Amino acid sequence: QLAPACAGLGEGLRVAYVQLPGGALPLPLSDTVRALRERGLLTTTVSAGACFGGDVECVGVESALAWSAGAGYQAVVCSIGPGIVGTGSRLGHGGLAAAEAVNAGAALGGSPVLSARVSSADERERHRGVSHHTEAVLRVCADGVVVAWPAGLDAPDWVEPRREVGVDGWEDACAGLPLSHMGRGPDEEPWFFAAAFAAGRLAGSLVT
């Protein structure tokens, strides 16, 4: 979701990417990060916690967010690295790192926006529609987060608080970027990528 989220933010902002533990730990493994830098959609990288290899390394997500704000970055995109730790249970997965980032961002005075994990093609029931990963993150989030929801897609009632975001033109904005989710591309999983784009677009609208 990193590529469409940064595409939603658009060009002209100073954007930091904070990689969180929960997937692969070496930040330089990410082809997406290299592509985003080449397009001017990402300015710097921060590896937090057990992650390593960023331009800056921080002890945790809290210090990573504080450093990014202090260094003048206008938006921070937080995500786990490629892959994900998972057990098939509601709370036993690396995606919960997003909840820590959201809670830290709100506590430090930011305006956290959560990207929902949406799928229409995943064969696993727990990931069809809105993934149980998103449900788990919302379950442990404190107040202050909003879910960016792509206009044109029906949302489950439990996805709250949410804000509908227009995603017209997301395909053109993401053209040429590496887009892959479990081996599926935008033709097979359009809403997965559109949801992440919506999060970037909403976050960009909050930059003052």
pLDDT digits (tens, 9 = 90+) for 142-193: 888 999 999 999 999 999 999 999 999 999 999 999 998 666 777 788 999 9
Q: Tokens for 92?
A: 């036993």
Pairwise CA distance, residues 200 & 10, whole Å: 8
| Per-residue confidence band for 129, with pLDDT thresholds at 50, 70 and 90 | low
Tokens 């940064």 identify what position?
6
pLDDT(141) > 70: yes
The predicted model scores a pTM of: 0.92
Pairwise CA distance, residues 65 & 69, whole Å: 6
Please report, rounded to a whole number, the percentage of residues in the chain having pLDDT higher than 90: 72
| Domain containing residue 105 | 2-206
Q: Which of 40, 38, 33 is nearest to 9 (CA)?
A: 40
Beta strands in 8-159 (DSSP E): 15-20, 44-48, 56-58, 75-80, 113-115, 118-119, 129-130, 146-150
Mean pLDDT of 40-59: 98
Q: How many domains does the chain have?
A: 1
- pLDDT at residue number 16: 98
Mean pLDDT of 114-133: 71
Please report, rounded to a whole number, the percentage of residues in the chain having pLDDT higher than 70: 94
- pLDDT at residue number 50: 97
- pLDDT at residue number 127: 54
- pLDDT at residue number 90: 80
Region for residue 167 given its phi and psi (left: phi exceeds 0; alpha: psi -120 to 50; beta: otherwise)? alpha
Residue 82 class from Cβ within 10 Å (0-12 exposed, 13-18 middle, 19+ buried)? middle
